[in-house]
Amino acid sequence: MNYKETIRLPRTGFSMKGNLVRKEPEILEKWEKEDLYGKIREARGGAPRFILHDGPPYANGHVHIGTALNKILKDFIVKSHTMMGFDSPFVPGWDCHGMPIEHRVMSDQKETGKRLGRKEIRARCREYAARFVNVQRKEFRRLGVFGEWDRPYLTMNNDYESGIVDAFGKLVAGGYVYQGLRPIHWCMKCGTALAEAEVEYADHTSPSIYVAFRQHEPGDWKDRGIPEGVEVVIWTTTPWTLPANVAVALHPQEKYVLVASGDRTFMVAEKRVSAFMEETGLEGDVQGSPIFSGADLEGLFLEHPLLRDKTSMMIVAEHVTMDDGTGCVHTAPGHGAEDFVVGGVYGLPVFSPVDEEGRFTAEAGDYAGLHVFEANKAIVADLKKSGGLLNSSGIVHSYPHCWRCKSPLIFRATRQFFLGLSRKNLKARVLNMVDDIKWHPGWGYERMKNMMAVRPDWCLSRQRAWGVALPVFTCGECGEPVMDVRVISSVVELVRENGSDAWFEKTPEELFALTGRKPECPSCGSGNLDRVDDILDVWFDSSLSHYNVLRDEYGLERPASVYLEATDQHRGWFGVSLITSEALDLGKPVEHVITHGLVQDMNGRKMSKSLGNVISPLEIIDRQGADILRLWFAGVDYTADFRADLSQLDDAREAYRKLRNTLRFMLGNITYLEDFNFDPASLKGFDRYAYLRFRKLMSFCLEEYRAFQFHRVYREIRNFAVIDLSGQFLDIRKDRLYCGDADSPEVLSTRNLMTWMLKNFIMLLAPLIPFTAEEAWAELPEVIKEGCESVHLALYPRIKDFTEAESAELRSWEPYMEVRRIVMKELEAKRASGEIGGGLDASVALEVPEDMVPSANGEDWADFLIVSGVETVAGEDLSVTVVKARGSKCERCWKILPEVGRLEPADVCSRCAGVLRKMSEGGDE
């Protein structure tokens, strides 16, 4: 007879196939329709706060794998902490200003051939940024990330811009802001500064000259053992920068030698001697001694080759190479980026006597009025006359050009506004703040300390259009900067009402009129002020998110609990945020800073379109679903760089399938649950083991969620599903759940235990795979959901630590599990020899220690081993004998037992006969 109808097979609407691509959008829609996020906020109102403050991604392009990883990790934290009982709001943000967007807009404009004004450019940039905020918002939501998507913070919003101006005013008032010179790429034809992204490199023919510098104060040189009359030789391709020369840089460790040629003696790097003599055509002898290192010469002075009243200092710098030139590098801080940096170290003046059109100013003496490239000839001629010129030729090399007009660029020092890190001991204060923040992983501390310590003053001004206007003036008479705190305060209001555009629409008179005054230069008293039309560095924008966003208006407060960004943000957002927070005297902006690695391809290379190795998260979502992507990310240790390969996605999918099937099986079995009444104390046998194991899993996972170690959560959950549930508990308990007496305490307590585990298991999964967890939650009977309509509203239970007795109890299972392993091997051996098929074909004879004879730690031995029968005897050594089970197969539970055939009905075992009898009496099922 077929007894299938008399057993409780799993039944559930939770399908085996995920169908995530179809289901996830439906769940998303439901969440939004029912305002789940709002309900979570409401439910956690008044709970302890846990604020993850979002570092703003750039509003350009689609979400790529790196931004997806970042937001998903953030979501893991927010969701897990929400379920741990914290009020954990998430306000996403976007960085909207800056070069990349302006560059895109300008490129589009270049194609149309139209030249746009600033107002138009800004409007188009705003439109562009807004478009991609919308694109990315939709994509982030689709990833299952919860947050205030309808009320994000945008750095281009009036409030935010206004806050930037406000903060800038406070920094001015605090004395942190100063004007100084700094060399930048400059297009003489367009008369504008260029950002790095606007520079194109192309071949260009430049002069190539070798110039000898004479000793200044030869006595000082002699004191260091250098003969009088030795000349130091430099090589340059920009003769016109020689008037701005203030130093000659040597490499500190490289060797420098003397070369006697005719009646002169030159000094060059040992490694460059032959190239130097070959190119200049000079003949001479390299002297074996003396030999100097660059460091030996530091601090000596040379005569300036062109300007009689100036000198040039001997300095050392690591950027000096032995690849070209003489190893002695002409240094003009006004005309080179590296020169500027090393000049800063020595406190050298930034001299740059060149105007916007590339003509020398009066400061250049005889060269005044000459265009710099024309001046090359005059300078070469003068050097020749003075004897300083050793050789002059030409060189074709890669040279920076303007992306717009294609003409060659120069480096030119311009007046810029800086945040002085040495003002009021700011850097030291920030370094102290670093001590006060917790860094995850711990080495983030060292990295931040080291980076902050060598950080130069922060150049805040940019000669661009798309950003927040720098609210300052310069005096038209004396040229001094005018940073008027009262005007800035008024501009704060102006910008709050009208955005930063308003600055550009008003004259200095109008701007001063906001304070009821007339323009006046505090230095010279002139009323003739020029509005500075620079914008602020975009890093300044994002650095102020703590100031603009961690406040009531967003339902947040400072300090935030956590910042979480990729490791490149140590110098970036983390660093600049600390600086402004300290400079504004606000204390630390955050308690914990977490960093994750960058996503690379399988070979550790950066993903880029040109390499064709890009993995798109959107494609994965479209084909597999967001939960698969999330599970993939959950499995990796994000503290290291993440080498992403599509093959790993197969593993994530496999893990998902296993988790899903395990959920499905349990859901299918609790269909028969009537009352949820879970009492751990009433559990018996193997149920106790499963219970203790699950408790251990829970406390482990909650601890790891607290420590932001998601890959450990993932590993434990996955192993638990594979080993403890699928391989052990569910396999062992299948017989009881299917065939046992429905009213028996064994069935009821096992079913309650399983229900309890299932509910908590879904909750553990919820932060990682929020869609699937929600889908499973919906299948749970109302009685056990305790009124939570969504799993994301549920709270993790408090899990008690193990008592000594419980630890001992769990340990007491080890020998039994060992017996089980050995029996499995024996069963396998019998299977291989064809004696048995399934485990129920077998009966096992065990020789075990005396205390193991009565039962498997309170569990029925046969059930524990999933065989038809077990006989135990006490023995010294463990021994396992597997034989074919004797008796007949019970047609209901499929065990082979001797009593089958002797009862009524004749084809079932005694347990099943009893159950059948009861069923027919009770009439149920």
Partner RNA sequence: GGGCCUGUAGCUCAGUUGGUCAGAGCGCACGCCUGAUAAGCGUGAGGUCACUAGUUCAACUCUAGUCAGGCCCA
Residues between 648 and 667 with contacts to RNA, criterion CB under 7 A = 648, 651, 654-655, 657-658, 661-662, 664-665
Distance of closest approach, residue 151 Cβ to RNA, in angstroms: 31
The residues, ordered by sequence, that sit 6+ positions from 175 with a Cβ below 8 Å of its Cβ are: 423, 424
Judged by CB under 7 A, the chain residues 830 through 869 that form the site for RNA are 831-832, 837-839
Judged by CB under 7 A, the chain residues 518 through 537 that form the site for RNA are none
9 vs 524, which CB is nearer to RNA? 9
Rg (CA), the chain: 38
Judged by CB under 7 A, the chain residues 572 through 631 that form the site for RNA are 597-598, 600, 604-606
Q: Which member of 2, 112, 289, 803 binds RNA (CB under 7 A)?
A: 2
Distance of closest approach, residue 322 Cβ to RNA, in angstroms: 11
The residues, ordered by sequence, that sit 6+ positions from 118 with a Cβ below 8 Å of its Cβ are: 465, 504, 533
Q: How many whole angstroms separate alpha carbon 726 and alpha carbon 721? A: 6
Other Cβ atoms closer than 10 A to 706 = 12
HSE of 695, CA atoms in CB hemisphere, 13 A: 16
For 56, the 3-state DSSP assignment is coil
Distance of closest approach, residue 865 Cβ to RNA, in angstroms: 10
Distance of closest approach, residue 9 Cβ to RNA, in angstroms: 6
Judged by CB under 7 A, the chain residues 444 through 483 that form the site for RNA are 446-447, 450-451, 454, 456
165 vs 768, which CB is nearer to RNA? 768
CB 658 within 8 A of CB 726: yes
Verify binding: residue 271, RNA, rule CB under 7 A. Answer: no
Residue count of the chain, please give it: 925
Q: Segment near RNA (CB under 7 A), from 502-510, 567-575, 676-684, 795-803?
A: 567-575
The first and second tokens of residue 558, run together, are 């400072």
Distance of closest approach, residue 443 Cβ to RNA, in angstroms: 3
Q: Applying CB under 7 A, what is the total number of residues that bind RNA? A: 80
Verify binding: residue 406, RNA, rule CB under 7 A. Answer: no
Judged by CB under 7 A, the chain residues 726 through 765 that form the site for RNA are 726-728, 730-731, 734, 738-739
Q: How many whole angstroms separate alpha carbon 418 and alpha carbon 177? A: 6
Other Cβ atoms closer than 10 A to 802 = 15
Three state DSSP letters for 463-507: CCCCCCECCCEEECCCCCEECCHHHHHHHHHHHHHHCCHHHHCCC
Distance of closest approach, residue 780 Cβ to RNA, in angstroms: 17
The first and second tokens of residue 461, run together, are 């001004």
Verify binding: residue 295, RNA, rule CB under 7 A. Answer: no
Would you tell me the crossing angle of helices 575-583 and 426-435 to the nearest 10 degrees? 120
Q: Which of 628, 631, 736 is nearest to 684 (CA)?
A: 736
Question: 547: phi > 0 → left, psi -120 to 50 → alpha, else beta; which?
Answer: alpha
Distance of closest approach, residue 702 Cβ to RNA, in angstroms: 17
Q: Which member of 223, 283, 828, 850 binds RNA (CB under 7 A)?
A: 828
Q: Segment near RNA (CB under 7 A), from 61-69, 292-300, 744-752, 825-833?
A: 825-833
916, amino acid identity = L
CB 542 within 8 A of CB 160: no
Judged by CB under 7 A, the chain residues 326 through 345 that form the site for RNA are 338, 341-342
Alpha helices in 531-599 (DSSP H): 538-543, 545-549, 575-583
Distance of closest approach, residue 637 Cβ to RNA, in angstroms: 4
Q: For RNA, what does the binding mask look like between residues 883 and 912, x meaning CB under 7 A?
A: --------xxxx------------------
Q: Give, as one character, the DSSP assignment of residue 285.
A: E
Judged by CB under 7 A, the chain residues 24 through 63 that form the site for RNA are none
892, amino acid identity = R
Distance of closest approach, residue 364 Cβ to RNA, in angstroms: 27
Distance of closest approach, residue 20 Cβ to RNA, in angstroms: 15
Distance of closest approach, residue 815 Cβ to RNA, in angstroms: 14
Longest dimension (CA), the chain: 126
Q: Which member of 127, 283, 357, 645 binds RNA (CB under 7 A)?
A: 645
451 vs 514, which CB is nearer to RNA? 451
Find the angle CA(773)-CA(776)-CA(782) to the nearest 5 degrees: 115
Residue listed under structure tokens 């980076």: 451
Q: How many whole angstroms separate alpha carbon 486 and alpha carbon 506? A: 16
Query: Per DSSP, what are the bridge partners of residue 475?
Result: 529
Distance of closest approach, residue 448 Cβ to RNA, in angstroms: 9
Q: Which of 326, 307, 319, 315 is nearest to 231 (CA)?
A: 326
Q: Segment near RNA (CB under 7 A), from 7-15, 497-505, 524-532, 585-593?
A: 7-15
170 vs 751, which CB is nearer to RNA? 751
Q: Which member of 9, 202, 478, 646 binds RNA (CB under 7 A)?
A: 9
Judged by CB under 7 A, the chain residues 693 through 722 that form the site for RNA are 711-712, 715, 718-719, 722
